[in-house]
Homo-oligomer: A and B are copies of this chain.
C-alpha cells in the first residue's frame, strides 16, 4: 500500500482512512468544523491555497462529488481544472501516468481522482513528484475516505462524539466503498459497535470489517442503534434480474419509519446519496426529522477543504 505520510509524519495524500490515528482523524474533523456554515449563510472562504492548481480527474464529468471538490478548492483560492478521463485499465497504466505527468508539468499540485477500478489513486500517488498530493474521491469498492470523514463529522455534530455509539451500516455492504471508509473512521474514533446489516448475498467477506457484528435480519440489526447508515443499492446490477427486485428489496431491507422505531429514540439516519427512494430508504425517512442527509452534503465540502488545506504543502 502506498504510504500516505511524509517522512516528517504529516499527511501528504488521502487514499484511505486505514492506518490514520485517532488524533489525525480528529484534527481533520476539527479543521473541517471551522469551515462549516449554516445553510443560507455565505460559505467559508480563504486564500490558503492561492497559487495552487487542483485537477479533478473524474470518469464522469457531472458528479456531485466533483462539484463538492471543485467548490472546496475554489473557496480556498485554488485554481481548478476539470478533466474527464478514462484512467482505469491496467493495460493503459503507462499512458495514464503520462497524463498525470503532463498535468504535473503544468504545475498541478493536487490530483483528485475518482476511478471505478481499485489501485489507480495509489499508483498515481506512488508516481508523482514529492510536492504533489493525491486525494481519492472514490476508488472502486475499496475506499472513499472523504465520505468516511464527512460521515464521522456528521455524527460528531449530531451526537457530540462517536465514542460508545452503536452504528448500523445497512444495505449493499459488499460493494460499498462508503461502508469501508465509514467503518475505518468510526472504529478509530471509538464506536462501541459497528454492525454490518445486509442480505446474505451482499455481506462482505469474512476477512473484512473485522470487529463488526453481522446481521442478515434488518430488524435485529437496527435494534437500539444510535446511527443508521443506509447504503445505495446499485440498481444497475438489479436490472439484470427481475424488475420486481426493487420492490422485493424494499420489502425485505428498505429503511422504513416502522423499522426505524427499533433504533434508539434519538437515532439519526444517514445516506451517502444518490438515494433510490422506495428501494433502500423510504422517502418519509429520508426527509424526516431524524435525517442528517443534507448535513452530510454540507459537511462534505468542509471536509474536502480541510483535507486539501492539510495535504497541500505551504507555498
Given A71-B106, A274-B95, A297-B106: A51 and B61 within 8 A (CB)?
A: no
With CB as the reference atom, state the residue of chain B lying closest to A294: B105
Given A67-B106, A94-B283: A99 and B61 within 8 A (CB)?
A: no
Q: How far is the CA of A277 from the CA of B91 in the complex (A)?
A: 12
Q: Name the contact of A274 in the complex, choosing from B37, B71, B99 (C-beta under 8 A).
A: B99
The verdict on A53 contacting chain B, using a C-beta distance below 8 Å, is: yes
| Contact between A40 and B106, CB atoms less than 8 A apart | no
Identical subunits present: 3
The verdict on A192 contacting chain B, using a C-beta distance below 8 Å, is: no
| Contact between B40 and A51, CB atoms less than 8 A apart | no
Chain B proximity mask over A103-131: 1 for CB below 8 Å, otherwise 0: 11111000000000000000000000111
The verdict on A237 contacting chain B, using a C-beta distance below 8 Å, is: no
The verdict on A74 contacting chain B, using a C-beta distance below 8 Å, is: yes
| Contact between B95 and A277, CB atoms less than 8 A apart | yes
| Contact between B64 and A107, CB atoms less than 8 A apart | no
Chain B nearest CB from A26 CB (Å) reads 24
Q: Which of A80-88, A167-175, A241-249 contacts B (4 or more CB under 8 A)?
A: A80-88
| Contact between A107 and B37, CB atoms less than 8 A apart | yes
Residues of chain B with a CB closer than 8 A to A81's CB: 67, 70-71
Chain B proximity mask over A37-74: 1 for CB below 8 Å, otherwise 0: 10111110100000111010000011010011011001
Residues of chain B with a CB closer than 8 A to A83's CB: 62, 67
A 185-219 contacts with B by CB, 8 A? none
Q: Name the contact of A39 in the complex, choosing from B37, B129, B301 (C-beta under 8 A).
A: B129
| Contact between A43 and B107, CB atoms less than 8 A apart | yes
| Contact between B64 and A99, CB atoms less than 8 A apart | yes
The verdict on A157 contacting chain B, using a C-beta distance below 8 Å, is: no
With CB as the reference atom, state the residue of chain B lying closest to A45: B51
| Contact between A79 and B74, CB atoms less than 8 A apart | yes
Residues of chain B with a CB closer than 8 A to A223's CB: none
Q: How far is the CA of A129 from the CA of B67 in the complex (A)?
A: 20
Given A297-B106, A315-B42: A79 and B84 within 8 A (CB)?
A: no
With CB as the reference atom, state the residue of chain B lying closest to A296: B105
The verdict on A275 contacting chain B, using a C-beta distance below 8 Å, is: yes
Residues of chain B with a CB closer than 8 A to A89's CB: none
Residues of chain B with a CB closer than 8 A to A101's CB: 294, 297
Residues of chain B with a CB closer than 8 A to A5's CB: none
The verdict on A252 contacting chain B, using a C-beta distance below 8 Å, is: no
Residues of chain B with a CB closer than 8 A to A105's CB: 39, 294-295, 297-298
Cβ contacts A to B, 27 pairs, < 8 Å: A37-B107, A39-B104, A39-B129, A39-B131, A40-B129, A40-B131, A42-B51, A42-B107, A43-B51, A61-B61, A61-B84, A62-B83, A62-B85, A64-B102, A64-B103, A67-B81, A67-B103, A71-B106, A95-B275, A98-B274, A101-B297, A102-B297, A104-B294, A105-B294, A105-B297, A105-B298, A106-B301
